[in-house]
Structure formats: C-alpha cells, structure tokens
Amino acid sequence: MEFKPKLELKRWDFKIEDQVRSWWEKEDWWKFDPNSPKPKFVIDTPPPYPAPLWHIGAAVSYAMHDMIARAMRMMGYEVLYPIGFDRNGLPIELYVEKYLGLTPWKTDREKFLETCRQVLDSWVEKMKETLKRLLIAADIDNPYQTDSPDYRAFTQATFIEAWKKGLVYEAERPNNWCPKCRTTIADAEVEYKEMKGIMAYIKFKVKDSDEELVIATTRPELLCACRAVVVHPDDERYKKYHGKKVIVPIYGHEIPVLPHKMADPNFGTGAMMVCSFGDWRDVQIFRELGLTPVKAIDEEGKMTECAGPIAGLKVKEAKMKIVELLKEQGYLVKVEDIVHKVPVHERCETPIEIIPMKEYYLKQLEFKDVLKKYAEEMKWQPERYKKNLLQWIDSVSTDWPISRRRFYATEIPVWTCKRCGYKYVPPPGRYYRPWKEDPPIDKCPKCGAREWEGEKRVFDTWMDSSVTVLYITKYMRDEEFWKKTFLEGVKLRPQGYDIIRTWLYYSLLRVHQLTGKRAFDLVFINGMGLDPKGKKMSKRYGNVIMPEEILNKYGADATRFWIALEVKPGENYRVIENKIQGAQKFLTKFLNVARYVSSFPYPEGRVELREADKWILAELAELIEKVRKAYAEMDFHTVAEEFYHFVWDKFSSHYIELSKKRARMMDERFDEEDAKAAWWTLHTVLKNLLLILAPISPAISDYLWRRLYSSESVHAQRLPEAPEEWRDEATLEKGRAIMELNSKVWKAKKEVLGKKLSDPVTVEELKSAGVELPELGGFEEDFMALHNVVRG
C-alpha cells in the first residue's frame, strides 16, 4: 500500500493567511447573533487611539483579545466582539498643531476640527489593515468611532442623564492645569517625572527683630503668592517663632509663622513657604488656615501682574530671574541643583500648575465604597492587579473635573441664559454643538429671555471612553439587546495595567451611576511590550518595532503563537525577533506532522488500539484538560506551552516514531488492523490538536482542518473534551517510562555503539551499552520495531 501525503506543503507559507481570511469574510461563524440560545460573552474591546505609528505592543494586546473571542466561541458562547477607535482628545490636536501648524486658538474651529478628522481617517485605514493582517475575526470594516455623531450623541445622553440625577455641578476651584494644552486635567492624567531643578535657600527677616529665618524652596518664583510660613509643631528650632511675622523678600508683605503638622522638619531647613496653588499641599493648608489666595500664574503658564518684577515671564524664566534678584538684594543664601519628582501632564509631559478655574464636575467621592466592592467582586487575570484599582479608589479625594478647554472632543450640551444664568440642558437623542447652534428651546424657562451663550468647553475624553461597554450593548437604544448582552451576559474588560486608574475606574464609576450595575464580571490585564534590551518602546528613543515589520517576515500565525508562548497575562515582555522566528519554525514542524498524518486514511468504525495508542490518548486527555482550564482563565501562555511540549516532546518525538513502522506496515509483526489503529490514533490526535491551536494560530489550523476533515471552519467547532476511556494513569506512567527508555536507546546507539539510529541492535549490545530492557508489556512490538532490536 502506498502512503502519499494529502498535504503537499512542506513549509507553512504565511501568504495563505490572506486566503484563509477571505474565507472568514464570507462566513458567519464569527458574527454576533443576539437571538442565539447560547450564553452571551461581551468583550469591551479597547478602542485604540489612531496614531501614525502603532507599535508591536499594541498589536500583541489585540491579538490576545482575539484569542479570547475565538476561545469563548469554541467554548459555547455567543461572543460580542466589537472593534472601535477612540478618536477624541488631545493627541490629534497636538499632532495637527505640531506637524500641520494649525494652532487651535488661532484657527477657525470648524477648519481645525475637519483637519483633525481627515488625519484620523488616514490613520484608521492603516490600523484596520494591521488588524486584518493579525487575523482578528471581527467586523473591522465597520468599527464604532467615538467622534462619530452617533457616539457623541450617546456620550451627551449619558451626561444629560447624570445631570438629571444631580451628579453634575459647576464650580470654581483649583485644578490641575496644563499650560501647553491650556486645559484642566484630572488627577488620573497626572504623572510624576524626575526632572532637574533647584533648591533656593532664602532669608526672611523676622519682624521687629534682627533675626532671620532661612527657608528652602524649589519654587522661588512663587514668593509673590507666599501667605504663610509653616513649621512642624514639635520642631524645637522654631517654637519661639510660632505666631510671629516675617517679611517676604522683594515683595515686602508680612506673613505669619504658624505650626502645622504638614511641615517636614527634614526637608530643606524645616521651615516651609505656603504659596497659593504652589502644589496640592499648599492648597490644603490654605483651606485649613483660611488664607486668601492670589493667582500668580495664568493659563498660558506666565507670571501674572502680582509677580511684580518677574510678571509676564514663563515659569522657568521667572525662577531664574527671581534667584538673580534675590542674590542682588542679599536675600539668597545658596542655590543647590537637585533632581526631584515633578507632576506632569501624561499627554505632553509638561509640568502642570494649579490654577483656579470654573469647570463642570462629576460627583465620585460618594461612590468609592461601592466601587471597591465591585473591584473585589470581579475576577481578575492576573489577580494581583486588583490592588492597583483599590489603591487608586482610596486615593481619590476630589470630584472629577469633566470639562476641557479644547476642541476635538464631544461638546458639553449646555446653554446658559445671558440674562439670568439659567443652565439649559436639552433632551437626549441627537448630537448637540452648543458653540455653533442655538438651543432647541424658544426662551429661558426661568426668565423668558431669548439670548443664550452656547457652551464652548468639551468633555474629558474619558467621558466618552468610560461608556464603551454601554454603547456596544446598546444601552438606552435597544432594550432587548441590552438585556441579552449587558444584563444577562458575561462581560469582560481586557486592557493594559497603565489605564486601570482611568479607563477601568471611570467605566465602573459611570456605569454604576447610570445603571446601578457593576460594569464587568472579568478583567484581563495585559503587560507592556519592551524592546530586546527591556526598554519601553518610544518614538523618542527610536526603538519602536512596527507590527508590519514582524508580519512581513513571519506572518500572523507565527507572531500569535510567539505571543501566546512568551507573553504571560499582566507581565511585561521583550520583543525578541529570533523567538518569533522560533515560533515560525515550530509551526512548520507542526505542518510536517500534519503532512505525515495526512498520508494515512482515517478509518471508520471500531479499531483495536495498541498500548502506545492508548498512551498518547491518555496524554492527549491530560493536555485537553489543562488547555480547557487555561482557555477558561484566558491564560494563553499555558495553552501554548502545553501544546508545544505535547507536539514536540511526546507526539512527534515518541508516538509517531513508535507507531511509524506499524502505520506504514513496514514490519512483518503488523497487519492492516494494527495499522488502522495507528491511523485512527494519528488522525484523532491531530484533529484535537487543530481544535486546541485554533484560537492562537487561526489560519494554519483552519487551513489544515478544511483540507483534512471538514468544509466547515475549525472555528465553528467546539473545543475538545476528552472521553473518560482515554484517561488512564497506569498507561500514562508506562508510556512515560517508554519515552525515557527511547532516549536511552537512541543515546546508546549513537554515542556508545557508534550505530545509526536505524541500524539493528541486539539486546546484548544494548546491555553492554548500559541499557537494560525491562518488561515492555503492550509496548514491546512497537518499541522493538522502532529501534530495530533483534534478540539473540
């Protein structure tokens, strides 16, 4: 009998991935059916922000989310897996300003917005193609976009609902302010960066005395706003000054010396300048002591008129100038160069200032306890990231400022009556642009006036992003769909650990405020992609690895298998190309295993299995049990690792070798019935391996499945479950002992006896080489045939 492979390919050609993807585009197994009787699984897929450069780390996270979607479909769920793009906010504005030269405050607003939109459109098209090349099984051509009129109308509708519930208010209070972006930012958008600075030691004259207090400060430019000096109550050096007054150098106003526990005796000289809006500690002390603040820095980051000789200067210039003046006038003791942590805006890394501004706020303090309860109730992968959310919730100390003084974002749907100041908030249902259009009301319901001031401010982009799960489940738009997906489905949030305090936190807050429900049941956290040296990828460092570079060399299946094998949930990982190349070689190895198996027919009916067949099925049963558990826990690393070792170390290296002569009937000890048992086992194992591999490397698994077993996609099948009769611990032990014996025989023939592995060898020769053959039981004929062992 001639055994010719049904598969002709000897090396996996990733160009076939395009062909396989075209099959999927014509099929419906991946499309969400809300009327399906299957339980629903909702993935609140992170909508990426479009960018001209999209590095490999982003591609890795979306490939992992697709693995989740595919695995859950094969585990019996109807999966809602949408693709979206988060297009609102500062990044596009900063790009247009820097590279296209359009300053938002000096450009016609409509023209500026249209330019932003066009640039985003071009970026989105490139990103769509990358997602397709990653073999993402979703409706990539019809994504939702957070800057679409439909989405913005939805964001506005959720704001209107919060307004009606009394959760929104307007107030003037100190806020984090980015002088470069000219907007208020929330605490969650502030990062701390180590920067070079100075520590100036300044002499303050004690009133009615010849004494001087020396105060160390990193912000001498705020002397004009200094309204008190505080010292720690227990600091013996300064107890005699409690209640006395000192005179502020250059400006000459008198301020009190007060004891306060927030003064650090170990910082500088232990005496601390309290300046209005110097930092949040200053703000707190001002409130506690009832001091009257002054505004020393304006919205452009320049010193105001109250700064006297340094008025009009940028903060950095003002700092140097005031030090120069202090030195000239004899107030400066010394200046030290220091490195300290400075609060910066995460978007542009500009040091922030604290400036009092009138903004809209969303209440959040009263919801901290329920959000902590939700954090505990959700299942985390990995569990340790739960503490990140809990720590952030504990740190929240003010309500969320949700208004921004920018342009490319969802407008706040509010009009203010010019006569009486009444705030008109319209009914939900359409997209409102108050800066451009009149309100849908004839006259003010409070005073009857007809002149309105349309709101020019926009929402913080997290106001849009925080309701993605409600948008995709059609909250307020399709009650039946929302019931089946949000209320009855399992809801997953996959995301990076760096936005736990923003996207995850704000989503939990907003969904609870709007629905009274917990937003998610599961949270999957992915790590960050680093370059081969372990450094964060950044355009600034020139070390960004583009996904196209990898896909053009190795294809998506190999890239995805590398992702699963190397990237553990929640862990940072290095992108090392030779490991991706190794994944590609493994898939070629697997292809050749499939090619070998395709040489044999797949017997129908009952076959009489040999001991080796029973052993590999017992190994397969153990593999299936492990990977089903790992898939349920979204642990693809374990799946890939177990799959790799099974294929390489057990199936290919041992079972195929043990059964090869039997399968090919190359030994007189075996007849066709013996061969059929091997054929059936080979195909049964391969079929199950294709099902296991499908969520990770979807193209090669589907291609092989359709060529060998079915015209229906492998992705329309269920993950395998091992029959009970395959589970046999005793057979497992015997088979693993045979694996060890195989290795000993191969080593003895090659290294001790100087034979080829195919050469005949006697029992006595093996014994002389240190290999004593035990009782082989049901493995004997396969073992003796494999090693060409002859007796006598």
Same domain, yes or no: 217 and 326: yes
Q: Please state, in angstroms and rounded to a whole number, the distance separating the CA atoms of residues 408 and 52.
A: 18
Residue 777 counted as domain residue = yes
Nearest by Cα to 383 from 633, 141, 576: 633
Helices (H), 439-516: 461-465, 468-472, 479-482, 505-515
pLDDT reading at 635 higher than 70: yes
The per-residue pLDDT for range 201-251, each reduced to its tens digit, is 999 999 988 899 999 999 999 999 999 999 999 998 998 999 899 999 999
Q: Please state, in angstroms and rounded to a whole number, the distance separating the CA atoms of residues 451 and 528.
A: 52
Helices (H), 385-497: 386-395, 461-465, 468-472, 479-482
The per-residue pLDDT for range 682-722, each reduced to its tens digit, is 999 999 999 999 999 999 999 999 999 999 999 999 999 99
Q: Which three-class secondary structure state does DSSP give residue 574? A: strand
Beta pairing class for 40-43 and 490-496: parallel
Same domain, yes or no: 191 and 319: yes
The domain boundary, picked from 429, 456, 483, lies at: 456
Q: Please state, in angstroms and rounded to a whole number, the distance separating the CA atoms of residues 191 and 499.
A: 12
Same domain, yes or no: 198 and 328: yes
Same domain, yes or no: 590 and 682: yes
Residue 342's pLDDT is: 79
- Could you tell me what percent of the chain has a pLDDT over 70? 100
The domain boundary, picked from 303, 327, 353, lies at: 353
Phi-psi region of 299 (alpha: psi -120 to 50; beta: other; left: phi over 0): alpha
Residue 393 counted as domain residue = no
Cα-Cα-Cα-Cα torsion 535, 539, 542, 544, nearest 10 degrees, comes to 60
Residue 328 counted as domain residue = yes
Same domain, yes or no: 644 and 786: yes
Residue 764 counted as domain residue = yes
| Overall average pLDDT of the 519-546 stretch | 89
Domain of residue 451, CATH code: 2.20.28
Residue 90's pLDDT is: 83
Residue 8 counted as domain residue = no
The domain boundary, picked from 393, 423, 456, lies at: 456
Beta pairing class for 144-145 and 84-85: parallel
Residue 225 counted as domain residue = yes
Same domain, yes or no: 342 and 433: no
Strands, E assignment, 207-331: 212-217, 226-231, 245-247, 254-259, 271-275
Residue 332's pLDDT is: 94
Q: Please state, in angstroms and rounded to a whole number, the distance separating the CA atoms of residues 16 and 72.
A: 25
Strands, E assignment, 457-586: 458-459, 490-496, 522-526, 529-530, 573-574
Domain of residue 713, CATH code: 1.10.730.10
The identity of residue 544, as a single letter, is V
The per-residue pLDDT for range 448-498, each reduced to its tens digit, is 999 999 999 999 999 999 999 999 999 999 999 999 999 999 999 999 999
Helices (H), 55-193: 56-74, 90-99, 109-133, 149-164
The identity of residue 590, as a single letter, is F
Same domain, yes or no: 591 and 691: yes
pLDDT reading at 574 higher than 80: yes
Q: Please state, in angstroms and rounded to a whole number, the distance separating the CA atoms of residues 370 and 386.
A: 15
| Overall average pLDDT of the 81-85 stretch | 97
Among 74-88, 178-192, 310-324, the range scoring the smallest mean pLDDT is 178-192
Residue 354's pLDDT is: 78
Same domain, yes or no: 679 and 782: yes
Where residue 347 falls among pLDDT bands split at 50, 70, 90? confident
Residue 193's pLDDT is: 84
Domain count, the chain: 3
Q: Which three-class secondary structure state does DSSP give residue 118? A: helix
Same domain, yes or no: 214 and 324: yes
Residue 2 counted as domain residue = no
Residue 422's pLDDT is: 97
Domain of residue 285, CATH code: 3.90.740.10
pLDDT reading at 743 higher than 70: yes
Same domain, yes or no: 212 and 308: yes
pLDDT mean across residues, the chain:
93
> How many residues are present in the chain?
792
Q: What is the phi/psi pair of residue 491, to 5°?
A: -110, 125
Same domain, yes or no: 323 and 427: no
Nearest by Cα to 180 from 280, 103, 100, 120: 103
Residue 350's pLDDT is: 83
Q: Please state, in angstroms and rounded to a whole number, the distance separating the CA atoms of residues 99 and 475.
A: 39
Residue 28's pLDDT is: 92
Where residue 792 falls among pLDDT bands split at 50, 70, 90? low
Residue 279's pLDDT is: 77
- Whether the Cβ atoms of residue 415 and residue 427 lie closer than 8 Å to each other: no
Residue 675's pLDDT is: 96
Strands, E assignment, 26-158: 40-43, 78-80, 84-85, 144-145
Same domain, yes or no: 620 and 699: yes
Residue 768 counted as domain residue = yes
| Overall average pLDDT of the 662-680 stretch | 93
* Residues of the domain holding 433: 413-456
Copy the structure tokens of residue 12. 């996996």
